[in-house]
Amino acid sequence: MNEICELEALLNAKSNRRVAAEDRYMDRIEKKEAAAENLIGEINRDGKMVSYINQIDRNGRFTGKIIEGSRANLVSYCIKNKYV
């Protein structure tokens, strides 16, 4: 009986650690997404609003080129390429 209680306690502790790790991960992702949203601009092209970001090189300098796309794709691009 005592072994079963110990096993349940270990499983509960493991589950609690997993949930805490997931919460920390989600907090980091939300912060990155918010920072990436700030990098996205909008321009009016032919009556339509187009989202864009300024491309940067490996040293963090702006290249003068822009990347256009949906806001979700641009947020993903910024996170994937470590803009934030």
Q: What is the pLDDT of residue 60?
A: 84
Q: Considering only CA atoms, which of 66, 30, 71, 34 is closest in space to residue 49? A: 71
CB within 8 Å of 21: residues ≥ 6 apart: none
Does residue 82 come out as left (phi exceeding 0), alpha (psi in the -120 to 50 range) or beta? left
Task: Name beta bridge partners: 25.
Answer: none
Per-block mean pLDDT, blocks of 10 residues, the chain (84 long): 85 96 97 95 93 91 93 95 90
Provide the residue ranges of all domains of the chain, joining segments of one domain with +. Answer: 2-80
The predicted structure's pLDDT at residue 49: 93
- The pLDDT > 90 percentage for the chain reads 80
